[in-house]
């Protein structure tokens, strides 16, 4: 599904308040469109502390395997 098709779908489904996506799919433009719909965005699986900070600073939730743990 394209970003545009997903945004259109979410616009017609206000009961969906959150989505998750692979971190490689995330773009600031896509996230901004979701935010306009009041849809929270989470990315997975991010294990790099710098990338985690980047996403959190952008208001994006993060799923991680190792953050704060010894590998």
* Residue 62, SS3 per DSSP: strand
**10-residue mean pLDDT series, the chain (71 residues):** 96 97 96 96 95 96 81 53
So what's the pLDDT on residue 54? 96
Residue with tokens 């590998």: 71
Alpha helices for 12-68 (secondary structure H): 28-36, 49-57
pTM of the model: 0.86
């Amino acid at each position: 599904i394209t970003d545009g098709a997903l945004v259109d779908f979410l616009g017609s489904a206000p009961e969906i308040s959150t989505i998750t996506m692979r971190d490689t799919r995330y773009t600031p433009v896509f996230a901004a469109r979701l935010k306009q719909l009041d849809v929270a965005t989470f990315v997975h699986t991010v294990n790099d502390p710098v990338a985690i900070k980047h996403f959190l600073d952008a208001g994006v939730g993060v799923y991680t395997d190792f953050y704060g743990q010894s590998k």
